[in-house]
Amino acid sequence: MADSMVKKESDKIARLAEVTMGAGGVGLTNLAQALEFCDIVISSSLAPSDMNTRAKVFVAIQYGAELGLSPMQALQSVYIVKGRPSLSYKAALGLARRNGYDGEVGTRGDGDDRCGYMTIPGKPDVEFYVADAKKAGLWGSNTWAKYPDDMLIARAVSRGINRYLSHVLMGCEVAEMVRDIEPKRAQLVEVEPQADELIDALLADDSWTVEPVDTPRPDLITPDDGSVPADAEGHD
């Protein structure tokens, strides 16, 4: 038992010895190192409260890596909201600036005309108003009541990136927006079995018989009285 524990610890040290350290922190080069890193993050108790399993930490790190974030940046910026990985609006804005965006974000106006805005050179300003939040049923609820200006900016940034800078997030959503979206459940619509009823009616009608005929068609439905349907005239 003791020997197996010693070997396990020795193997762990050997794996960690392969991890490089540089100015930007650890350099994870394979899956084993990444999983080991996830374990260290969880055991440190410094991970966000919702990042409480190896799988969640790994998904966050992987998702961030695909967007150009370091492991620790990803842990602070990636949120799993309603089962979907998403980025905080500040991280999304940071990635946009890293990719050359040099516009402004902020708030302006008063009352229902107060808005969060995002300027994008060469494009109309992107805005999200208090009136928009009220119309969507967001105003005064949860985080909106505590940080209204931040939420207005978050919505403007999300809208602006989705409209004009979608290449930055490659389809990733902004967490503040995803939290506000109510999941829509599919409604089951009962379809009347019209086709089945028609088939049952035809099978119940014994006035029709199927007789083989010498035509390009495999069969022809004819009445019992021997008459030929009008659309079959001309076929011998």
Does residue 118 belong to any structural domain of this protein?
yes
Average pLDDT taken over every residue of the chain: 77
72-76, 154-158, 176-180, 206-210, range with the lowest pLDDT:
206-210
Residues 9 and 74 in one domain: yes
Structure tokens at 54: 């190896």
Half-sphere exposure at residue 18, Cβ-oriented, CA atoms within 13 angstroms: 14
Expressed as residue numbers, the domain containing 19 is 2-81
- Nearest by Cα to 176 from 49, 91, 109: 91
Span 124-134, average pLDDT: 96
Whether pLDDT at 88 is above 70: yes
116: left (phi over 0), alpha (psi -120 to 50) or beta: beta
Residues 117 and 71 in one domain: no
Give the pLDDT score at 140: 87
Residues 31 and 75 in one domain: yes
Q: How many domains does the chain have?
A: 2
Residues 37 and 73 in one domain: yes
Residues 109 and 170 in one domain: yes
Residues 68 and 129 in one domain: no
Does residue 91 belong to any structural domain of this protein?
no
Q: Is the pTM of this model over 0.75?
A: no
Residues 48 and 105 in one domain: no
Q: Which of 22-31, 205-214, 221-230 has the highest mean pLDDT?
A: 22-31
